[in-house]
């Protein structure tokens, strides 16, 4: 039986979305391992440098997720509408587009690395680390983009477990090479960048081989047909994810500037550690949303209202339970997580462990906001999804970053994300109830 046609039960939903959640969790774990190797075997200035250049890396992630999330919703809906060949042509076109865009971004980043690093606010102490990491990690931009694309499309093809296996293999490659390049070979931050890039290359090669082999009856490569409307709709539909990641790039830049002004390089290192923890604890929400999105798109395309309602109701319950768990675990494990990157008793440890307890309040709200935005993307309403993402990750957050530190000092920096997420939750709930009669998901 086609997995999209199976009864919507809690057990099925967890089995179907678990590989996507695991992929996101492992990706976050690998990112934390990168940071741990750099912090412990290079120094905390190198860790700060990674966060300084992260806004540029996030631009690549923004473009990748826009194509992947918007495109997977388009192809899943086409499959639900019984247009399999059209879905394959769209998938083939999007892969070629992502690869070409990745090459262009890599070339431009390497050519303009020096002014870009200065523009991001690198101090003299961090400049060398920033430039070295940016140049070498940028060489693998096409693989980074295709890896993310395949993570989404393995789910759309009904093979989430295969995508999970590819992600695991890439992550293990990353961890092993982190150790080899940084510790015995002494390559420093350059070794971390190359290890990351090669870790992305492994699932990219696996994805290309799998879809070119035509082993999957639902989705495989065919001759791409250039349809401007498909590309435009993909970008529009995935614009919320694009907006979210662009906003993360901007707000990370602002957080870095504020922490530099208040606490110097130690402050940047501390907020880098907390951001690593955020990636890990929110991975469950992003993973579940990306995993359930093809099911929502498919049943929306098939006009199966009963299954759509059950999907959304079970999803909201799941998000509520995980939000409480994420908050509790982030508070209980805060010192242990920070200790992975820096030893207890250091200034960075004290700043990060105190800040994480305040920062963690945002986990109570952000799961609902992530799911709400992903829901409207899956329903091919990119406009509402983009508005939710723009308000949550840009308008509300920038206002909080600007205002709260003025009122409360350093604690205000940590409260910025919880405050923005709470405001975004009110808007997300309003939109969910406002459009329930149009989409019949409640």
8-state DSSP, 27: H
Distance CA(153)–CA(148), nearest Å, equals 9
Contact predicate 153/72, CB 8 Å: yes
18-27, 67-76, 241-250, 353-362: the lowest-pLDDT one:
241-250
Contact predicate 338/273, CB 8 Å: yes
Coil, strand or helix at 224: coil
State yes or no: pLDDT of 145 exceeds 90: yes
Mean pLDDT estimate for the chain:
87
Residues 6+ apart with CB under 8 A from 338: 273, 277, 349, 352, 353, 356
State yes or no: pLDDT of 241 exceeds 70: no
Distance CA(290)–CA(160), nearest Å, equals 11
What's the average model confidence in pLDDT over 285-295?
87
pLDDT score recorded for residue 220: 78
Tens-digit pLDDT profile for residues 397-416: 999 998 999 999 999 999 99
Residue 363 vs residue 297, higher pLDDT: 363
For residue 125, what are its two tokens?
């102490």
For residue 241, what are its two tokens?
């994810």
Angle at which helix 10-41 crosses helix 334-341, to 10 degrees, equals: 40
Distance CA(91)–CA(94), nearest Å, equals 5
In the chain, the percentage of residues whose pLDDT exceeds 90 is: 35
Given pLDDT bands bounded at 50, 70 and 90, which one contains residue 76? confident
Contact predicate 72/219, CB 8 Å: no
pLDDT score recorded for residue 107: 96
What's the average model confidence in pLDDT over 150-178?
86
Tens-digit pLDDT profile for residues 79-136: 878 888 888 888 889 999 999 999 999 999 999 999 999 888 888 888 889 999 999 9
Distance CA(7)–CA(166), nearest Å, equals 27
pLDDT score recorded for residue 55: 81
Contact predicate 385/243, CB 8 Å: no
Distance CA(149)–CA(127), nearest Å, equals 32
DSSP character string of 70-83 = HHHHHHHHHHHTT-
pLDDT score recorded for residue 276: 78
- Reference 12, options 222, 307, 263; nearest CA is 307
Tens-digit pLDDT profile for residues 35-64: 788 888 888 788 888 878 888 888 888 889
């Amino acid at each position: 039986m086609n997995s999209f046609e199976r009864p919507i039960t809690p057990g099925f939903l967890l089995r179907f979305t678990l590989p996507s959640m695991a992929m996101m969790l492992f990706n976050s774990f690998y990112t934390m391992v990168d940071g741990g190797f750099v912090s412990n075997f290079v120094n905390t200035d190198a860790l700060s440098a990674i966060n300084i250049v992260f806004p540029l890396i996030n631009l690549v992630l923004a473009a990748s997720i826009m194509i992947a999330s918007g495109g997977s919703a388009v192809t899943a809906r086409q499959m639900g509408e019984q247009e399999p060949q059209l879905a394959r042509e769209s998938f083939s076109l999007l892969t070629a587009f992502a690869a070409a865009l990745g090459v262009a971004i890599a070339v431009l980043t390497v050519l303009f690395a020096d002014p870009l690093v200065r523009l991001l606010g690198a101090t003299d102490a961090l400049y060398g680390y920033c430039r070295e990491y940016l140049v070498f990690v940028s060489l693998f931009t096409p693989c980074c983009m295709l890896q993310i694309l395949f993570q989404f499309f393995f789910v759309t093809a009904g093979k989430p477990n295969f995508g999970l296996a590819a992600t695991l293999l890439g992550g293990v490659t990353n961890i092993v090479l982190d150790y080899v390049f940084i510790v015995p070979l002494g390559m420093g931050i350059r070794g971390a960048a190359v290890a990351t890039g090669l870790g992305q290359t492994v699932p990219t090669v696996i994805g290309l081989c799998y879809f070119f082999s035509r082993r999957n009856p639902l989705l495989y490569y065919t001759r791409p047909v250039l349809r401007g409307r498909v590309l435009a709709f993909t970008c529009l539909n995935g614009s919320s994810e694009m907006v979210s990641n662009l906003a993360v790039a901007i707000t990370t830049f602002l957080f870095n500037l504020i922490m530099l002004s208040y606490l110097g390089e130690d402050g940047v290192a501390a907020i880098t550690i907390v951001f690593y923890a955020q990636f890990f604890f929110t991975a469950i929400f992003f993973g579940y949303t990306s995993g359930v999105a093809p099911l929502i798109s498919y049943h929306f395309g098939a006009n199966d209202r009963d299954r759509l309602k059950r999907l959304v109701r079970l999803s909201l319950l799941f998000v509520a339970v995980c939000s409480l768990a994420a908050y509790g675990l982030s508070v209980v494990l805060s010192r242990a997580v920070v200790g992975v990157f820096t030893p207890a008793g250091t200034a960075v440890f004290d700043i990060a462990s105190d800040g994480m307890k305040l920062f963690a309040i945002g986990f109570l709200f952000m799961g609902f906001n992530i799911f709400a935005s992903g829901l409207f993307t899956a329903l091919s309403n990119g406009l509402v999804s983009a508005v939710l993402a723009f308000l949550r990750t840009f308008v509300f957050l920038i206002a909080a970053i600007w205002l709260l530190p003025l009122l409360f000092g350093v604690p205000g920096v940590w409260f910025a994300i919880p405050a923005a997420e709470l405001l975004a939750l009110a808007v997300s709930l309003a939109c969910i109830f406002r459009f329930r009669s149009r989409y019949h998901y409640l």
